[in-house]
A and B are shown apart, each in its own frame.
Chain A
Amino acid sequence: AQSVAQPEDQVNVAEGNPLTVKCTYSVSGNPYLFWYVQYPNRGLQFLLKYITGDNLVKGSYGFEAEFNKSQTSFHLKKPSALVSDSALYFCAVRDRDTGRRALTFGSGTRLQVQP
């Protein structure tokens, strides 16, 4: 089985401050890990993914994420938050060693950036 946990329903941060949105995962084998962002009344937009190799992955809009195998985590980070980053963020996982599974998503974390 594969699963994702996003322990925070909401994260509040002031504009210009660094932000972190947490994600932990569980798979039987090795993971493919993804972050998506969702704006109101819109579909999900891809931000970045980890497949293999460098544990620090850089993505769209200045976001990055760090894969930590020992802690089974894939936290999303940004050095300086913008008000326009306010949205719903989803972490997702696929176990690459157990067949043709689709992505399993977490419950989402709402990011609120205050001006």
Chain B
Amino acid sequence: EAGVAQSPRYKIIEKRQSVAFWCNPISGHATLYWYQQILGQGPKLLIQFQNNGVVDDSQLPKDRFSAERLKGVDSTLKIQPAKLEDSAVYLCASSSGLAGGAGELFFGEGSRLTVL
């Protein structure tokens, strides 16, 4: 079974530029998550989708971050304009169960963003 795919693995941009990350979850997984992991910290939830609807985006900085999951499968996370403090690893995860259930999350390898 293929895992969660993310791209690009690494991205370096100047502040105020824009960047987009792509995620393809495990086939059939209804719930998709984007987490931000700053160096030395645990992952922090940015947004949670169930199918193509948003379940929780309360911690997403909506003035600069946006995410979509148009057909309930792939998802894109965009940052525009980027700030220095956005330097982090962006982790995508999926789970087979519905949001809030007991199912574990399966993570991709992450997209490491460096903002200069």
Contacts from A to B (Cβ < 8 Å) = 4, 32, 34, 36, 41-46, 49, 51, 90, 94, 96, 99-108
List 17 other contacts, CB 8 Å, given A105-B42, A107-B40, A107-B42.
A41-B112, A44-B43, A44-B107, A51-B102, A90-B43, A96-B100, A99-B100, A100-B50, A100-B98, A101-B56, A101-B99, A102-B48, A102-B55, A102-B99, A105-B44, A107-B41, A108-B42
Contacts of B45 in A (CB 8 A): 102-104
Q: A90-B42, A99-B100, A100-B98 are in contact. Are A46 and B55 (CB under 8 A)?
A: no
In this complex, what residue of B is CB-closest to A44?
B107
B77 within 8 A of A: no
Which 7 residue pairs are nearest across A and B when measured between Cβ atoms?
Answer: A100-B100, A100-B99, A43-B107, A105-B42, A44-B107, A46-B104, A43-B109
B41 close to A43 (CB less than 8 A): no
B60 within 8 A of A: no
Interface size of B by Cβ–Cβ distance < 8 Å? Answer: 27
Question: Which of B40, B91, B102 lies in contact with A49, CB distance below 8 A?
Answer: B102
- Give the Cβ gap from B95 to chain A, nearest Cβ, in Å: 9
11 pairs, A vs B, C-beta closer than 8 Å: A41-B112, A44-B91, A44-B105, A94-B100, A100-B50, A100-B98, A101-B56, A101-B99, A102-B45, A102-B55, A105-B42
- Give the Cβ gap from A72 to chain B, nearest Cβ, in Å: 18
Contacts from B to A (Cβ < 8 Å) = 4, 33, 35, 40-45, 48, 50, 55-56, 91, 93, 98-100, 102, 104-110, 112
- Give the Cβ gap from B7 to chain A, nearest Cβ, in Å: 13
B42 close to A102 (CB less than 8 A): no
Contacts of A34 in B (CB 8 A): 104-105
Contacts of B43 in A (CB 8 A): 44, 90, 105
Question: Which of B40, B102, B109 lies in contact with A96, CB distance below 8 A?
Answer: B102
In this complex, what residue of A is CB-closest to B45?
A102
Docked pose: A65 CA to B75 CA in angstroms: 34
